[in-house]
Every structure is written in C-alpha cells, then in structure tokens.
C-alpha cells in the first residue's frame, strides 16, 4: 500500500505526462492521404498530404498547390473546370433566375472574366421565388400585385379573376395618377402609375423618359414639334433620343417591319446591368444624308454613324517643306488634299526643292575626287562615280553634274 506522500508524487508525474502528451499534433490529426486534405473547393488549387514540416504545410501536413488555368480560360467553380469565355447567353446562366438574367457581353466594361454581365432582376419587389423546372431548369416566380382603387367613395381592392380584374371590397390603388390608364402591375397599360403625364395616350418626347409606355418609340413623329425624334426626316431616330427601361420589365424588342434587327434599324437596344437602354441610331439628326445606311464620304463627317470619320477613304500625306511635290517625315491621314503635304514620301532632302528622286549631289572628295550620290526612288541616297575621267561639279542649286 502506497503512503500518502508516495501517492502524491505519482499523481504529479501522471499529470505532467498527460500535459506533455497533449502538446502538438497527435498522430490521429495528421493527414494520411491526399483525401484527408481535400476542402471540396476546386478553384483554390489541389490539396496533397505531406508532413507538418513541409514548407507551406498546415498543422495536419496538408499542402495546397495553386491552380493555374491555361491562358484565355478561367476557373469555373460550378463546373470544377477551366473553361473559355462565354459565347452565348446560356454559357453565363448560374441557375438562379431571381438574381437577374445573365448575358454574354464580353466587350462590356462591367463584364466578368468569363465575359458575362448580370441583367435586371425579374421582380421589382422582394419575394421572387425560384421554381424547379423540367430537365434541371429553374424559373423565377414573382408575387402577384395587390391593387386598389377608389370606387363609390371608398377604397376597394382590385382582384384578378378569369378574363380580367374586378373590384372587391376593402383595399387601396389601381389608377393612382388618375390618368384613366390602370397600372401595368394591375393588368393595365400604364407603365408609371405615379405620373399622369406618362401613359399610352401621351406623346413621346426626345428625352430619356418612356412617355408613351412604348420603349421603342423615341420622340414624336411630328418633325416640326418640340421633342421630335426624326428632325431631318431620313427615317432614323436621333441618337440623343433615349428610353431607359427599368429592371423588372421585359427586355424591349424593337424591330423593323420585316422582323429584322440590324445596324440599320431606327433604334437599338443596349443591355445594361440594372436596366435596358433604347436609343436612336442617327448620329446627326440635322442632316438627312447622315444615317446608318449612308455611304461614307470624304467630307470630315461620320456619314454612316459607325463612330469613324472618312474611314477607308483616307490616305497618307507627308510634310513637303520645300514644296517640290515630294514629302518626308511623319504622315497625316486625310482623304482631302492638305496644303504643304504630298502623297509621296521619297524626298531625299526636304530642304532643297532641286533634290528629288533621280537628282545627283556631289560628295566631298575622298580618294579620286569623282564620288557623288544619287537620290533613289526610296528616298535614300546611294553612292556612285562619274564615268571615265569625268568628275562631279557642284551646281548653284545644290545638285551636281558629271563633267
């Protein structure tokens, strides 16, 4: 039987042993295979099992190697793969319709590394529900509106019924701005029920407001009235006329009568992250000769509204300081003749009008005294000699002759 003192001594040693054995990673916490290190995340790199002493390893001995996708591709966590940028809108779909429709727009400033932008959300208000569809698809469902109206001196709820809407007892706002056009949210055709000046009966002005609730009309057709969209009458709407279509509404479809949507359309639709922009395509609504269908002319104007002036018609003009018809130096692009410039760039000496391609200039005597240089067709000099016993005689105009 242990004495009381002996039992205390043994207890202290056991306590010390337990304390020291609990320090540092235990064998059970160290990784034994690569699978012990996996974090179920693809794009942060591949995990492998090493030892805690390995540089970069954690306490378990796990080491992560950086993932490097090939040039021109990006890492997709959803697909667990490196893939090229988007080619079509479905390439950008994240399967979450309530956060907005994803569009493939690689040239957009706000595009991500895949070339995608996020379009407007499908619902103006909160409450969007994502409903599973066939073959793994998902669709957004927006909550129905609660519509009210004044009727019979009191507030009445407007409820949806088969074939339309009807008033029901108790509730507020069906035509809030009293312009005789019910709200779109309540089955009507008023796209802004807070402003009586905005409704399908209103005249559209050349501004950034959809006055008549038709995003594809940009300004009145009356050419002589303020707010006209086509002042020069060439059939194309001014690019200064715009309609901003808020998110939550359908993407505008503005087409020609033949159903086509081409660069020559009177208006164009631009996709943006929070809304859509519909604008005209006529870059100069004061000139009927300037339209997206016009041929580019040499006149200093952007005749075809492509953002470029006199493109494909310009040519290089070179400074002609001595006005001998031959130029040299940095070129100026213009389709019109530029005073003091020449289309030729092979002047060997642009300070002497007598020195042009074919002219001879005497060189200082080096050996025999008959050396000269000739201005070539490429604008450079080449060394030559006079034939026989002739020598090069300098002339007053700076050229030379063999005599």
Please write the tens of the pLDDT for every residue from 4-57: 444 443 443 433 333 333 444 455 589 999 999 988 888 888 899 999 999 889
Q: Give residue 124's pLDDT band: very low, low, confident or very high (50, 70, 90).
A: low
| Strands of 281-386, DSSP E | 315-319, 332-334, 341-342, 360-362, 371-375, 381-385
Bigger pLDDT: 282 vs 71: 282
pLDDT value at residue 126:
57
Q: Would you say the C-alpha torsion 36, 39, 40, 41 has a positive or negative sign?
A: negative
| φ, ψ dihedrals at 19, nearest 5° | -65, -45
Please write the tens of the pLDDT for every residue from 90-119: 888 888 888 887 888 877 767 787 888 887
**Do 300 and 367 fall into the same domain?**
no
Q: Give residue 313's pLDDT band: very low, low, confident or very high (50, 70, 90).
A: confident
pLDDT value at residue 162:
46
Question: Would 282 be classed as within a structural domain?
Answer: yes
Residue span of the structural domain in which 124 resides = 85-141
Residue 291 · residue 236 · CB < 8 Å: yes
DSSP string, 273-309: SSEEEEEE-BS-TT-TT-STTSPP-SSSS-TTSSS-S
Please write the tens of the pLDDT for every residue from 209-222: 889 998 888 887 66
Please write the tens of the pLDDT for every residue from 147-163: 655 444 444 454 544 44
**Do 298 and 367 fall into the same domain?**
no
**Do 209 and 285 fall into the same domain?**
yes
Question: Would 269 be classed as within a structural domain?
Answer: yes
Among 310, 325, 351, residue at a domain's last position: 310
| Domain count within the chain | 3
pLDDT value at residue 33:
92
Question: Would 236 be classed as within a structural domain?
Answer: yes
pLDDT value at residue 145:
57
Mean pLDDT of the residues in the chain:
77
Mean pLDDT of 112-138: 73
Question: Would 268 be classed as within a structural domain?
Answer: yes
Q: What length is written for the chain?
A: 403
pLDDT value at residue 24:
44
pLDDT value at residue 321:
96
Among 97, 112, 141, residue at a domain's last position: 141
Q: Give residue 343's pLDDT band: very low, low, confident or very high (50, 70, 90).
A: very high
Integer angstrom CA distances of residue 80 from 40, 44, 84, 102: 10, 11, 13, 19
Q: Compute the distance between CA of residue 216 and CA of residue 205 in angstroms, rounded to an integer.
A: 12
Q: Compute the distance between CA of residue 229 and CA of residue 215 in angstroms, rounded to an integer.
A: 13
Verdict on whether the full-model pTM lies above 0.95: no
Is residue 249 pLDDT above 50, yes or no?
yes
**Do 300 and 369 fall into the same domain?**
no
pLDDT value at residue 222:
63
pLDDT value at residue 160:
47
User: For the chain, what percent of residues have pLDDT higher than 90?
Assistant: 23
Q: Compute the distance between CA of residue 322 and CA of residue 341 in angstroms, rounded to an integer.
A: 10
Q: Give residue 349's pLDDT band: very low, low, confident or very high (50, 70, 90).
A: very high
**Do 283 and 224 fall into the same domain?**
yes
pLDDT value at residue 376:
95
Mean pLDDT of 310-332: 92
Question: Would 104 be classed as within a structural domain?
Answer: yes
Question: Would 39 be classed as within a structural domain?
Answer: no
**Do 288 and 211 fall into the same domain?**
yes
Question: Would 228 be classed as within a structural domain?
Answer: yes
CA angle, corner 145, sides to 144 and 149, nearest 5?
145
Question: Would 224 be classed as within a structural domain?
Answer: yes
Residue 302 · residue 320 · CB < 8 Å: no
pLDDT value at residue 146:
57
Bigger pLDDT: 335 vs 319: 319
Q: Give residue 320's pLDDT band: very low, low, confident or very high (50, 70, 90).
A: very high
Q: Give residue 132's pLDDT band: very low, low, confident or very high (50, 70, 90).
A: confident
pLDDT value at residue 316:
92
Mean pLDDT of 72-82: 73
Please write the tens of the pLDDT for every residue from 160-217: 444 444 444 433 356 778 888 877 766 678 888 889 999 999 988 888 888 999 888 8
pLDDT value at residue 340:
95
Among 288, 310, 332, residue at a domain's last position: 310
pLDDT value at residue 334:
87
């Amino acid at each position: 039987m242990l004495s009381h003192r002996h039992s205390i001594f043994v207890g202290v040693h056991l306590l010390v042993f337990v304390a020291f054995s609990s320090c540092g990673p235990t064998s059970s916490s160290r990784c034994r295979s690569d699978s012990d290190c996996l974090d179920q995340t693809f794009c942060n790199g591949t995990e492998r099992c090493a030892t805690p002493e390995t540089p970069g390893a954690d306490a378990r001995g796990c080491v992560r190697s950086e993932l490097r996708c090939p040039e021109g591709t990006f890492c997709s966590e959803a697909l667990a793969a490196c893939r090229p940028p988007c080619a079509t809108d479905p390439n950008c779909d994240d399967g979450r319709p309530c956060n907005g429709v994803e569009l493939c727009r690689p040239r957009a400033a706000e595009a991500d590394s895949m070339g995608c932008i996020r379009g407007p959300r499908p619902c103006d208000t909160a409450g969007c529900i994502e409903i599973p569809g066939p073959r793994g698809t998902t669709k957004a469902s927006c909550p129905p509106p609660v519509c009210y109206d004044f009727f019979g001196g009191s507030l009445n709820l407007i409820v949806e019924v088969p074939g339309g809407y009807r008033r029901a007892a108790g509730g507020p706002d069906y035509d809030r701005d009293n312009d005789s056009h019910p709200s779109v949210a309540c089955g009507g055709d008023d796209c802004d029920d807070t402003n009586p000046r905005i409704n399908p009966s209103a005249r559209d002005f050349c501004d950034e407001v959809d006055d008549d609730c038709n995003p594809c009309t940009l300004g009145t057709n009356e050419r002589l009235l303020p707010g006209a969209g086509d002042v020069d009458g060439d059939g194309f709407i001014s690019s200064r006329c715009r309609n901003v279509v808020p998110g939550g509404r359908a993407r505008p479809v503005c087409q020609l009568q033949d159903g086509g949507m081409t660069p020559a359309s009177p208006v164009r639709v631009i996709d943006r992250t929070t809304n859509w922009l519909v604008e005209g395509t006529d870059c100069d609504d004061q000139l009927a000769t300037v339209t997206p269908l016009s041929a580019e002319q040499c006149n200093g104007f952007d005749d075809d509204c492509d953002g470029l002036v006199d493109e494909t018609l310009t040519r290089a003009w070179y400074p002609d300081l001595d006005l001998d018809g031959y130029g040299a130096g940095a070129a100026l692009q213009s389709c019109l003749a530029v005073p003091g410039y020449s289309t030729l760039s092979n002047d060997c000496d642009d300070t002497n009008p007598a020195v042009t391609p074919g002219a001879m200039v005497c060189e200082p005597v080096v050996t025999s005294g008959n050396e000269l240089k000739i201005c070539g067709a490429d604008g450079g000099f080449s060394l030559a000699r006079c034939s026989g016993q002739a020598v090069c005689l300098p002339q007053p105009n700076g050229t030379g002759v063999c005599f």
